[in-house]
Structure 1
């Protein structure tokens, strides 16, 4: 019986430690441009203005690989569409996932010639929580209305696995 108490206490401690490594439970995943994806002809500033982005959220850029790309850039690079300087990250998978890891302004462009100046750019103001509304940035050409919303993304996978393992372990003795 003493051994089972030690195992039970160990399991509880491991469970609590594991929960500290789980990401924010309220993080959302947003597909940039909703159903239109990351392509020309979409007003991304209008799209971004619909949402309140918070730390831990993920932006997904869906596009045809080779036809577009995603650059995270400085504000100056965003405004000028000149990527000779100010590029923070480059993505070109066609299904880029960018986690918004800290509260700050993020700026994104497509670096294919003419795309940024044609409207494939936007900025988001990421907050610590949803209590503050994001800022709006320079408008880009209008586009058809977008449908859809951010998809909730619960990050409890590891905690559930640990609980299942703990029950299995306790029941096997």
Structure 2
């Protein structure tokens, strides 16, 4: 049997000079399409919510200044509070502001938690108030309140004074790495900076 062998030139070498020029020197429309695709990819990512461990390493216990703890963080919709404590020694109650101030949990209680590792999802822009209802604990300082703001923005900062792109300033330096307290971390600031930087370079390339 006679077998004829043929040498096949790899397809990736069969490129016309015009195609090579288009690849090496892409047009502005090609560049803008590529960068806009990258922007769309990053903007489609969901915001990663943060789990805040109440009291940090001290957990939910007596003798902790929860006012100072609550003032360290900016809480937004989608975040969660995690209460760590010895089950049976404490509990968690989400209450009204009046009950928070009086430490009288006979009324004004929305939710009761007692598992020893309770997660409270912050689902709305509002003030949240928490106490421990074990006798003497609330009056001893096991209570705090927080204000929850809007969910972190997906796009730019929204405070630019430039409206027509003329004289566009370069994007600011990247933000510092987030310093959460054991949660997933907040990549929103980094994503916002990256989108801003890519937008700036798209405009520069299209000029």
Q: TM-score range by the shorter chain?
A: 0.5 to 0.7
**2:155 is the alignment partner of 1:123:** no
State how far apart, in whole Å, the 2-side matches of 1:110 and 1:94 are: 12
Query: TM-score, normalised to structure 2's length?
Result: 0.53
Runs of 4+ in 1 over 4 A off after TM superposition: none
Q: CA deviation at 1:152?
A: 2.0
Unaligned runs of 5+ in 1: 1-19, 132-147, 155-173
**Which residue pairs with 1:29 in the alignment?**
51
CA RMSD of aligned residues (A): 2.3
Q: Which structure has the larger Rg over C-alpha atoms?
A: 2
Equivalent pairs counted in the alignment come to: 118
**2:103 is the alignment partner of 1:71:** no
Q: CA deviation at 1:151?
A: 1.4
State how far apart, in whole Å, the 2-side matches of 1:78 and 1:112 are: 14
2:73 alignment partner, SS class:
coil
Alignment match of 1:52 (pick from 74, 78, 97): 74
Unaligned runs of 5+ in 2: 1-43, 154-179, 187-207
**Which residue pairs with 2:168 in the alignment?**
none
**Which residue pairs with 1:88 in the alignment?**
110
Contact 1:52–1:130, Cα closer than 8 Å, also in 2: no
Alignment match of 1:39 (pick from 36, 61, 69): 61
